[in-house]
Each structure stands twice: as C-alpha cells, then as structure tokens.
Amino acid sequence: MASQSQDLYAVADFCLIPMGTGETSVAEYIAECARILEKSGLKHQLNLYLQHLGYLLTAPSHNSPTPLNRSGYGTNLEGPWTQVSQAIHDCHAAVHAKGAPRVATDIRIGTRVDREIAPGTGNASKLQRVQDILAKDKKE
C-alpha cells in the first residue's frame, strides 16, 4: 500500500481541447502536446478516431507500441501522480504558447493501493483483462 507521503501511481486519460483559435482543425495543437508527452518520458498513447475508416486507430508513442486499440478521442497517460499532473499542465502551457487563448480539458485519473502496478502497465493490463473476459464469452 502507498503511504500518504509516497506519490501515487496514476492511470489517466485526458482530452485537451484548444478553443478560440479560429481554426476547425486542432491537429497542430495536439501534435504540440504529443511532443511534450514524449519529452516527459511517461508512458502515453495518443488516441485518434478515424470515422471515415469506420474503426478506431491508436497512434502509439515510442513508449507504448500497441498498434490497434479500441478507444476514442484523448490520450492515455500513466506514471507518478505529480508527473502526470505536470505533463497535463505542460500540455496546456504549450498549447497556449502556440496561440490558443483558451484550453478546456477533461481528465480522468485512477489510482489503486490494493496491489502493486508495475510502471507502464496500468492501461495495458486493464485493457488485457477486459479482452480476456470477452475472449471467454466467445468460447462459451
């Protein structure tokens, strides 16, 4: 179990939305955030929804080689709570510096202290657990 003084391991996802840019595309701003996350060294995965292809595609970072994933808009991020929070802050600052006068972000963060989570495995193990359950359904 984590003590109160120990940094909690956080598994998060967030969707950053640049506002007031006068542009319909946010790709340049999201790419800037992706650069920040890459520099952070945290395990992260940028999720892109390709509606015209009819499936969801994940653009993996160098730290997360999963080629295909069922997820939507947003980015999965995991690591020590303070580093995850700092990375999201740094994304906001970078997007503002790129010219977005406003940034809105939805953030979900989960922690657990009932068992140890190996660094970099939080999102992958949650996804694998669900896939294992669904695979059992197909066998029955």
Q: What is the CATH number of the domain that holds 127?
A: 3.30.70.930
Q: For residues 30 and 20, what is the distance between their CA atoms, to the nearest angstrom?
A: 15
What is the pLDDT at residue 8? 94
Total tally of structural domains belonging to the chain = 1
Residue 122 in any domain: the answer is yes
Predicted TM-score (pTM) of the model is: 0.73
Which residue ranges of the chain lie beneath pLDDT 50? 50-71
Q: In this structure, are strands 102-110 and 9-19 parallel, antiparallel, or unpaired?
A: antiparallel
What is the pLDDT at residue 29? 93
Residue 129 in any domain: the answer is yes
What is the pLDDT at residue 122? 79
**Which domain range does residue 128 map to?**
9-139
Inter-CA distances, 137 with 59, 69, 140, Å: 28, 19, 5
Residue 114 in any domain: the answer is yes
Contact yes or no for 13/76 (Cβ under 8 A): yes
Residue 2 in any domain: the answer is no
Residue 80 in any domain: the answer is yes
Residue 132 in any domain: the answer is yes
- DSSP-H helix ranges across 21-113: 27-40, 81-97
Residue 27 in any domain: the answer is yes
